[in-house]
Amino acid sequence: MGLSTQKGGLQKKLAYEMRCLVITLGLCFWIYWLIHRSNSDTSLTINGTVFINRTVPIGRIDDDFVCATLDWWPPEKCDYGTCSWGRASLLNLDLTNPILYNAIKAFSPLKIRLGGTLQDKVIYLIDVNQPPCNPFVKNESDLFGFSQGCLPMSRWDELNDFFKRTGAVVIFGLNALNGRIIDSKGSAIGAWDSSDAESLIQYTVKKGYTIHGWELGNELSGFGIGARVAADQYASDTNTLQHIVQKIYAGFEVKPLVLAPGGFFDANWFTEFIHKTTKSLQVVTHHIYNLGPGNDKHLTEKILDPSLLGGESRTLSSLQSILKSSGTSAVAWVGEAGGAYNSGHNHVTNAFVSSFWYLDQLGMAASYNMKTYCRQTLIGGNYGLLNTNTFVPNPDYYSALLWHRLMGNNVLSTSFSGTQKMRAYAHCSKKNTQGITLLLINLDDHTRVQVSVSTDQSGTSPEIPNLLNSKTTATNNNMREEYHLKAKHGDLQTQVLVLNGKILTVDSSGAIPPVEPIYTRMADSIYVAPSSIVFVRIPNINLPACT
């Protein structure tokens, strides 16, 4: 080989190595830039303060405030071309599934409302001499798109056995259209035929089944959904149900609640109804689907819009005003809420992003003295706490479980200063524990919030006292619990929840994973990452509102 050839080869080798060096340096610079950009995003931190009124609670919720529903919809129920119900109906749900059992058992107890649209087309097969028990059959010409269905007592027995084993607290929705005729305008004419309901209640008592409450009807108030009942007639029917319950449960120390109307809020209708049931009604139930239809392409944006989330406060406030003016002793529940109606939206109402809406709803409802909040659904549709096909918990299941275990009965008046993208709620901690628990919801996708906590709401002092740094409020314990909820890989439409850096998943036996906190020094600030949710239990902060 000649010298010139060797020289040319050496030049090519040097050129090749130089190109590799340039590529490597470029790659390193690109990685550095990504890391730097990422760090700069997460380091975009603002300060905010949670203000808590320490004197008196503004509401008090039930121990089993978190409630979930089981519906009647058969597999043929479809919305927008998607059939999302599978075998999640009360009539065909697999009661032997270990995940289902463990998911309910984990709440100890979970309040479950049995009902939904088709409850007003269900008859109860109690007498063997009755006609055969036919299933729901899809028929677009029928009311609600299905024929009349039937609950056989053999299935009722199975359900009650399951609820007893899981410790569930059961609310049953009765058929309020029985015996009525629906006219061409959708008005239900005539009084309620209570005989079928009375037979079911008698059977239930005879078998020794425990029912926490009997609810009359589903979404028949106001303009109704498919059909409607006038307020004065509904009040008369509710009085009838109360008479039946008192008669059948005579001698019982604790009698089931009577609940109604389980419909959408209409101020005039609810005012008349409540004023005419002051002695027969224990719980006023209403439904919420404030995100609109399930096929809305902007559901995620709506969920992350604080002004839209806060809009529901007007309904909650109005309902409480009606109750106070009526002189009734009845309390208010959110009897059904799934966010988006018509079965929700896959990868939105069953994904991590839904927890921003759901936990905000729980916090807001509690602050307006709603005693219970029933989520549509426990399983079924695209808004279930559990996956309809696999039974695996969706993110909202764990959000509900954390609320249930951490947020106590007394609701504290709470506000947040620093950004409109942070939603903040506070309760006295769950019974048998001391202190308070905060719920912090950061709707901002690029800003971290450093949070201080104060009971000074005068606004006159530039130096806001931070309870986290106060030596007088945490003398016996200098640690707090934190539960940071994030989406896997930051994908808000994922169905995988990350708690304190760990993915939550059931094991091969169907056991619900533990939801464990991280412990942080009281003196350290609370940091809420972008697009994340944090529960914070602060022990040994003794407020007058919690005593």
Where is 197: in which H helix or E strand? helix 195-206
**Is 42:347 a contact under the CB 8 Å cutoff?**
no
Sheet of 526-528: strand order equals 414-417, 45-52, 448-454, 526-528
**What is the rounded distance in angstroms from the CA atom of residue 168 to the CA atom of residue 171?**
10
Residues 113 and 404 sit within 8 Å (Cβ to Cβ): no
CA–CA separation, 463 and 331 (whole Å): 41
CB-side neighbour CA atoms (13 Å) of 266: 19
Complete DSSP assignment for 386-434? B-TTT-PBPHHHHHHHHHHHHEEEEEEPEEEES-TTEEEEEEEEPTTS-
> Per the structure block, which two tokens stand in for 125?
């097969």
Catalytic residues: 219, 336
Mapping DSSP to helix (H, G, I), strand (E, B) and coil, where does residue 267 land?
helix
For residue 524, how many C-alpha atoms fall within 13 Å in the half-sphere facing its CB?
A: 12
The number of CA neighbours under 13 Å toward the Cβ of 343 is 22
Provide the phi-psi class of 490: left if phi over 0, else alpha when psi is between -120 and 50, else beta. left
DSSP conformational letter for 332? E
Residue owning tokens 């002695």: 279
Token digits of residue 28: 């390193």
Closest Cα partner for 339 from 302, 285, 306, 378? 302
Quick check: 90 and 114 in contact, CB under 8 A?
A: yes
Q: Tell me how far apart the alpha carbons of residues 441 and 534 are, in angstroms, rounded to a whole number.
A: 7
Query: Bridge partners of 543?
Result: none
Residue type, 450: Q
Q: Check residue 379 and report its DSSP letter.
A: B
